């Protein structure tokens, strides 16, 4: 059976260059970096190198990089850590209605535990946040704004740099009035492969990313923390990661994410090819499948994301039929694929539940070929026709 993987937003294959880099840290250089002997020093040197590699990519200082188990932990640490560190009474967090579940759930826990309140900004029909809505939502007790850079479901790119400028303006006024700073965080997991992640250009204080989205093994991530930002740890243990992330380092994973991020700019040489395949796929679906609708913005869209709703089709049924033909896709975020509820992202964009349930996400990668896209289109057209015949449409 032919196999086509179109779920790169969920996870990516490990790059061979990354695998070669990390293998010695399983078999030969296995010391604990907290140990003072030679094995331990060898491990800490590898971590320091990886920290420099990530810092070079983000255009920041190595001391501003924290290694975590992934973006979920990075997002949790940011949201809960900033709230814990603030002296503001009844601190307020601002986020959007289409964030990743780990951000929404972290905010929900803060409300449940009565340590913060949360304000949600809406998005337009393309899933885009208006920076002025952020400006209007900020209150005296606002301590953090968290907006995702590129949406994991519909691929919408948020105007992070513009939001950063708005927050910078507000912070100038707050400083004059002796009000605490509003920190700005972005979950850049889906954006790292494709968009500018220079933290100065974005105007962010915190930035999260995951290794397994950039051709590194699962279980390692990064949190950028701008120097001077007030944040407390949320788990106790040793003093690793500047006393902010206790626990023995995942040395192979950290070495891997350092190597993987050093390869991102090289991999971006294929971005135009990926975007061309994406646009080809979008155009072919619209041309050949009636009652199909592209979800999200076509202009402000990640180069690898194709998300469609097919009227009258049950998304899960279509997914399984494609899987039987060797084509791996998603009905939304991999983290929420077990949920029977319609996508909160599509719902927030004003898409009715019956249409949201008919959505499929295709995400391309550097290994994707036109032959694979043509095969997928052929099978997709056949299966949708069959499903419509079954339903009597």
Q: Which pair of structure tokens corresponds to residue 272? A: 């135009």
Q: Identify the bridge partners of residue 120 per DSSP, sorted by sequence position.
A: 95
CA distance 273 to 387: 32
Catalytic residue selected from 60, 107, 216, 335 = 335
CA distance 333 to 177: 42
* Cα-Cα-Cα-Cα dihedral sign, residues 214, 218, 220, 226: positive
Full strand arrangement of the beta sheet holding 117-121: 65-68, 221-225, 206-210, 183-187, 142-146, 92-96, 117-121
**In angstroms, what is the C-alpha Rg of the chain?**
22
C-beta atoms surrounding 280 within 10 Å: 15
The per-residue DSSP string of 86-138 comes to ---SS-EEEEETT--HHHHHHHHHHHHTTS-EEEEE---TTS---HHHHHHH-
Q: Using CB atoms within 10 Å of the CB of residue 89, give its burial: 0 to 12 exposed, 13 to 18 middle, 19+ buried.
A: exposed
Q: Identify the bridge partners of residue 7 per DSSP, sorted by sequence position.
A: 363
Q: Which of 6, 354, 9 is nearest to 148 (CA)?
A: 9
Chain-centroid distance, C-alpha 266: 20
Residue 335 falls in the annotated catalytic set: yes
Q: End-to-end alpha-carbon separation of the chain, Å?
A: 30
Please give the positions annotated as active site: 335
């Amino acid at each position: 059976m032919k196999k086509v993987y179109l779920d790169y937003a969920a996870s990516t294959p490990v790059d061979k260059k990354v695998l070669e880099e990390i293998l010695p840290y399983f078999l030969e250089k296995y010391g604990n970096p907290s140990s003072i002997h030679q094995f331990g020093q060898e491990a800490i040197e590898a971590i320091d190198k990886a920290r420099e590699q990530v810092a070079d990519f983000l255009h920041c200082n190595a001391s501003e990089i924290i290694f975590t188990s992934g973006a979920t932990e990075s997002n949790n640490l940011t949201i809960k850590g900033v709230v814990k560190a603030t002296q503001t009474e009844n601190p307020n967090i601002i986020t959007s209605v289409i964030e990743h579940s780990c951000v929404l759930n972290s905010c929900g826990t803060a409300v449940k535990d009565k340590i913060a309140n949360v304000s949600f900004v809406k998005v337009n029909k393309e899933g885009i946040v208006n920076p002025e809505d952020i400006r209007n939502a900020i209150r005296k007790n606002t301590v953090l704004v968290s907006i995702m850079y590129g949406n994991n479901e519909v691929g919408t790119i948020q105007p992070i740099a513009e939001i950063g400028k708005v927050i910078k303006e507000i912070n100038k006024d707050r400083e004059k009035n002796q009000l605490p700073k509003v920190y700005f965080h972005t979950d850049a997991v889906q954006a790292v492969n494709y968009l500018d992640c220079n933290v100065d250009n974005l105007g962010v204080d915190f930035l999260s990313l995951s290794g397994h989205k950039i051709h590194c093994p699962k279980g390692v991530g990064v949190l950028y923390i701008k120097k001077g930002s007030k944040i407390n740890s949320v788990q106790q243990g040793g003093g690793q990661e500047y006393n902010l992330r206790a626990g023995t380092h995942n040395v192979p994973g950290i070495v891997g994410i350092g190597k993987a991020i050093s390869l991102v700019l090289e991999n971006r040489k294929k971005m135009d090819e990926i975007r061309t395949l994406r646009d080809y796929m979008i155009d072919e679906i619209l041309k050949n499948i009636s009652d199909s609708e592209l979800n999200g913005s076509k202009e402000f869209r990640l180069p690898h994301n194709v998300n469609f709703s097919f009227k009258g089709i049950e998304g899960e049924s279509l997914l399984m039929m494609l899987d039987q033909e060797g084509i791996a896709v998603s009905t939304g975020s991999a983290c929420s694929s077990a949920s029977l509820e319609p996508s909160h992202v599509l719902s927030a964009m004003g898409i009715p539940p019956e249409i949201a349930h008919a959505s499929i996400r295709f995400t391309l990668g550097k290994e994707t070929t036109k032959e694979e896209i043509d095969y997928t289109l052929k099978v997709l057209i056949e299966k949708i026709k069959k499903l419509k015949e079954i339903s009597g449409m």
